[in-house]
Amino acid sequence: MLTITRLYTLGSIRKDLINRLKDCSSTPVLDADCILKHVLKLTKEEIFLKPDIPVSKKNYRKICKNLSKRKTGLPIAYITGQKEFYGYDFYVNTSVLIPKPDTEILVEKALEKTGTVFPSNKTLRVLDLCTGSGAVGIAFYLEALKNGISCEMFFSDISSKALKVCHKNIEFHSERDPSLKKRTKILKGNLLTPVLKTFGKESFDLILTNPPYVPEKTSRELLKDGRAEPLLALNGGADGLALIRKIIPDARKLLVPGGLIFLESGETQTEIISRYFLDNGFCSIIRHRDLEGQFRVTEARKQ
């Protein structure tokens, strides 16, 4: 339990919570504030500006429970059920990967290129492959709309549980923009198989994908720390490239001539992925760096 003397005040709880999180988190202040926002339904500003407000014993116990979960290694996003991505909030649970800041480069570069290579009056058909929570596709759609780009969004994943999370996020963000729900479709299946079966060849303008790309052995090692992310969403086979080798030739079938794909991978994989693209009839290969300067996203255009 947290060591709190006298009153259960927000400030005293926050201070002790931060101290307790230091031995299990590299970001104790951020984690503490996320827990407090989640339990107390306060904004970040209110947490700073109202340190003397009382906290009920019921909420104090909830805070302690969340602290215990964090000490097991469970990521804060799974504890709160929420993760921010590209400025939007998304629901997450252990059926999906937690959206990472480095993945925002996938959305950013796709938006930049989409605004220049496609006719401004065209409604683009866009696929978020291996969608998980749907964060990539939803963020792309909402930002494209702001930029005057018209899209139809399709979300595909092999996991039924992941697609339930995706559907929940589509519903949530459709409250802000009802057009999202009207212009989206969810598909279940293995990689591009259900999409090709449903829509046929040369039927999409743009593919965004963050597929499993971690080598199997590394995936299993990573999950030993209690992070609880789904193995299915991490495991890319023996060398991490098993699924990517399947995606690239099928992407060529699915894309219209001149269509684009943006694919996230590990920083050591982008060079060989670039060769896969060239060998499968793609051109204009560009490797994009993430926030830490590592190659993270490979862009390719179908000839």
What is the per-residue pLDDT across 83-97, written as a single tens digit (0 to 9) for each?
Answer: 999 999 999 999 999
Under 8 Å CB-to-CB from 284, ≥6 apart: which residues? 299, 300, 301
CA proximity to 196, closest of 154, 234, 136: 154
**pLDDT tens digits, 32-64:** 999 999 999 999 899 999 899 999 999 999 999
CATH 1.10.8.10 intervals, the chain: 10-80
Query: Which residue, chain included where needed, has tokens 């829509």?
Result: 199
**pLDDT tens digits, 228-261:** 888 999 999 999 999 999 999 999 999 999 999 9
Cα separation, 51 vs 117, in Å, equals: 51
* Mean residue pLDDT across the chain: 93
What is residue 44's predicted lDDT score, i.e. its pLDDT? 87
CA proximity to 118, closest of 144, 99, 97: 144
Residue 1 clears pLDDT 80, i.e. is over it? no
CATH 3.40.50.150 intervals, the chain: 96-302
DSSP string, 242-276: HHHHHHHHHHHHHEEEEEEEEEE--TTTHHHHHHH
According to CATH, the superfamily of the domain at 10-80 is Ubiquitin-associated (UBA) domain (1.10.8.10)
Q: What is the pTM of this model?
A: 0.91
Stretch 279-299: mean pLDDT, rounded?
97
Residue 113 neighbours by CB distance under 10 Å: 17
Residue 5 clears pLDDT 50, i.e. is over it? no
Between 3.40.50.300, 2.60.40.420, 3.40.50.150, 3.90.1150.10, what CATH number should domain 96-302 receive?
Answer: 3.40.50.150
Q: Please, how many CA atoms are within 13 Å of residue 190, restricted to the half-sphere of its CB? A: 3
Cα separation, 227 vs 302, in Å, equals: 38
Cα separation, 55 vs 176, in Å, equals: 32
